[in-house]
Amino acid sequence: MSLLAAKRLEKHYGHHVVLENLNFSVEPGEFVTLVGASGCGKTTFLKMLLGTEAVSKGSLTLDEKPIPNEPGPDRGVVFQKYSVFPHLTVLGNVMMADELHSSKLLGKASVPPSAAR
Secondary structure E strands in the chain: 4-13, 16-26, 57-62, 65-66
For ligand ATP, give the closer residue by CB, 13 or 27: 13
Q: Which residues bind ligand ATP (CB under 6 A)?
A: 13, 16, 18, 36, 38-44
CA dist 76 and 91 (Å) reads: 13
CA dist 84 and 90 (Å) reads: 8
- Binder among 2, 43, 61, 93 for Mg ion (CB under 5 A): 43
**Closest distance of CB 46 from Mg ion, Å:** 8
For ligand ATP, give the closer residue by CB, 32 or 116: 32
For ligand ATP, give the closer residue by CB, 54 or 95: 54
DSSP labels, 79-100: -SSSSS-TTS-HHHHHHHHHHH
Number of amino acids touching Mg ion (CB under 5 A) = 2
